[in-house]
């Protein structure tokens, strides 16, 4: 199976292209707050703009519930897109609107929020048919929704044949990077996993255990693992219903000879928002009234040492409550250690990506994945529906 890219598209001269983007940007009072995703879409947009007749960009935005909702209109994004692209962009106030068929050659359109129709999330066949109808080609450059079976990424793709559908540059780059983690990753492969809850990441964690030589665990996830080893973690965030899963992961790692590290010292506090007490404690010495909020200094050093000689690194999940300055040191230490290795390094996940920017080292990472859920699902080797729909 191969995944067609832009260069595989044929007969572009008169093409009318439906381009699925991820323009799900934060908007406040009708003003776009962060243009990162708009800028990320520009290379594919420009490449198409030089070669095709009509581009109709489309996206979802926010939590629209299958009906038009002005709070989630993409109209403010059209203005930003126009500025960033440096050419007119026409906003189409209905993603199934007639303008898609009548737009003159040389037009760039932005269609209204796909999720104003219930058929988008339901991957409804009739909605996909109507969405695809006026177009000769389809390009998907929205990696963040690649793990969802929605009409604009799955149903639509099925309606275009060879030479008429492809992934854009963003998705191509994501897939290339994540493939390097799955098929014969260069060893030693070190994974760093953390974040709030193990329950949201069980499958990717289990998949990583099978592939890595070293697993460094931090964040809330480590608390439940410590508890599974009989360590008392005070008032720390834990998920008691995940204790069996934790034991299974620990056993599997031991059976495979994976070097699984848990924190040996931690930062504990009485209150995350208004800390009165902040202390470093060994994990066998956590007071009942305090909670773990970061890696301790010895653990930071041990994890950094493990990262120093890695050939491949994947990081998902902050090592502590890094949003609070006092509890960010563990996450920042890991970010710096990861940036300093010569190996191939990938960071994925919403807060993890924020953390790597927070630490100021995002440009020293080989690949920063834009799709949190999608990248984790890719790693579990469950194929992504949107990618499968394009493969030939
Ligand atoms: P990502 O979005 O990168 O996949 P998650 O959503 O799983 O990461 O988790 C991120 C959150 O985990 C952060 O907001 C952070 O504050 C929180 N977190 C990390 N360590 C702890 C901890 N020890 N206790 C409570 N929350 C934690
Ligand atoms: Mg998150």
pLDDT in tens, 206-245: 999 999 999 999 999 999 999 999 999 999 999 999 999 9
- Looking at the CA of 323, which ligand is closest? 1
- Compute the distance from residue 5 Cα to the ligand 1 centre, in Å: 35
Strands 291-295, 265-269: pairing is antiparallel
- Compute the distance from residue 274 Cα to the ligand 1 centre, in Å: 18
Q: What is the pTM of this model?
A: 0.91
Q: Are 16 and 61 in contact (CB under 8 A)?
A: no
Strands 291-295, 344-347: pairing is unpaired
Question: Which candidate, 109, 170, 131, places its Cα nearest to that of 370?
Answer: 170
Residues enclosing ligand 1, CB less than 6 A?
194-196, 200, 219-220, 223, 237, 292-293, 316-318, 320-321, 323, 349-352, 372
Q: Which of 320, 330, 348, 373 is catalytic?
A: 373
148 counts as catalytic = no
- From first to last of its 392 residues, what are the pLDDT tens digits of the chain? 899 999 999 999 999 999 999 999 999 999 999 998 999 999 999 999 999 999 999 999 999 999 999 999 999 999 999 999 999 999 999 999 999 999 999 999 999 999 999 999 999 999 999 999 999 999 999 999 999 999 999 999 999 999 999 999 999 999 999 999 998 899 999 999 999 999 999 999 999 999 999 999 999 999 999 999 999 999 999 999 999 999 999 999 999 999 999 999 999 999 999 999 999 999 999 999 999 999 999 999 999 999 999 999 999 999 999 999 999 999 999 999 999 999 999 999 889 999 999 999 999 999 999 887 889 999 887 789 999 999 98
37 counts as catalytic = yes
360 counts as catalytic = no
197 counts as catalytic = yes
Euclidean distance between CA atoms 265 and 113, whole angstroms: 48
Euclidean distance between CA atoms 321 and 330, whole angstroms: 9
Question: Which candidate, 6, 97, 91, 92, places its Cα nearest to that of 49?
Answer: 6
90-97: long-range contacts, CB 8 A cutoff, minimum separation 24:
92/56, 95/58, 95/131, 96/130, 96/131
Q: Which of 87, 90, 130, 197 is catalytic?
A: 197
- Compute the distance from residue 161 Cα to the ligand 1 centre, in Å: 42
- Compute the distance from residue 222 Cα to the ligand 1 centre, in Å: 11
């Amino acid at each position: 199976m191969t995944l067609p890219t832009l260069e595989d598209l044929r007969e572009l001269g008169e093409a009318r292209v439906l381009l699925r983007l991820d323009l799900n940007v934060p908007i406040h009072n009708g003003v776009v707050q962060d243009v990162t995703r708009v800028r990320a879409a520009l290379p594919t947009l420009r490449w198409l703009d030089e070669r095709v007749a009509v581009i109709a960009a489309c996206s979802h935005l926010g939590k629209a519930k299958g009906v038009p909702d002005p709070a989630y209109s993409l109209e403010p994004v059209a203005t930003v897109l126009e500025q960033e692209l440096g050419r007119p962009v026409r906003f189409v106030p209905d993603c199934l609107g007639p303008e898609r068929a009548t737009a003159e050659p040389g037009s760039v359109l932005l269609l209204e929020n796909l999720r104003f129709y219930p058929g988008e999330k339901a991957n409804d066949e009739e909605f996909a048919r109507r969405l695809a109808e006026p177009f000769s080609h389809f390009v998907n450059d929205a990696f963040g929704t690649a793990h969802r079976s929605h009409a604009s990424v799955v149903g639509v793709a099925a309606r275009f044949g060879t030479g008429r559908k492809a992934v854009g540059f963003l998705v191509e780059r994501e897939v290339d990077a994540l493939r390097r983690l799955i098929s014969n990753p260069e060893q030693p492969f070190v994974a760093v996993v953390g974040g709030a809850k193990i329950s949201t990441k069980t499958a990717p964690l289990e998949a990583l255990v099978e592939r890595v030589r070293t697993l460094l665990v931090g964040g809330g996830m480590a608390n439940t693992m410590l508890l599974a080893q009989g360590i008392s973690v005070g008032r720390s965030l834990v998920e008691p219903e995940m204790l069996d899963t934790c034991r299974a992961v620990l056993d599997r790692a031991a059976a495979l000879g994976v070097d699984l590290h848990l924190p040996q010292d931690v930062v504990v506090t009485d209150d995350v928002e208004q800390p009165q007490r902040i202390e470093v404690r060994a994990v066998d010495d956590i007071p009942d009234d305090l909670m773990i909020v970061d890696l301790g200094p010895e653990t930071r050093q041990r994890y950094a040492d493990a990262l120093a000689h890695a050939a491949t690194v994947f990081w998902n999940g902050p090592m502590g409550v890094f949003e609070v300055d006092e509890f960010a040191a563990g996450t920042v230490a890991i970010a710096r250690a990861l940036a300093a290795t010569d190996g191939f390094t990938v960071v994925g996940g919403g807060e993890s990506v924020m953390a790597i920017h927070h630490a100021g080292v995002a440009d020293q990472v080989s690949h920063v994945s834009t799709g949190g859920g999608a990248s984790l699902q890719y790693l579990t080797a469950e194929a992504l529906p949107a990618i499968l729909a394009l493969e030939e």
